[in-house]
Amino acid sequence: MPYVFGGLVVLNALMLGYYLFLKQPSATQSVKQAKADLVQPIEFSNSALYIPPRIGNKD
């Protein structure tokens, strides 16, 4: 039994190393869409003009 357990540990380490370091992940449709959304510019409006003055301020 110790040989089976040791073999499974070694096999697990080999598979983990393969998936972490050798295999390149393929981009799914949702990942491509998210990257495209990040590249597009975001609208920005300066809302600081609409903030009321602080209470107690004489401005």
pLDDT tens across 4-55, in order?
999 999 999 999 999 888 887 788 888 888 888 887 667 778 888 888 878 8
Q: How many helices (H) and strands (E) does the chain have?
A: 2, 0
DSSP one-letter code for 59: -
How far the first Cα of the chain sits from its last, in Å, is 82
Buried b (16+ CB within 10 A) or exposed e, 42-56: eeeeeeeeeeeeeee
DSSP one-letter code for 48: G
Ramachandran region, residue 56 (left: φ > 0; alpha: ψ -120 to 50; beta: rest): left
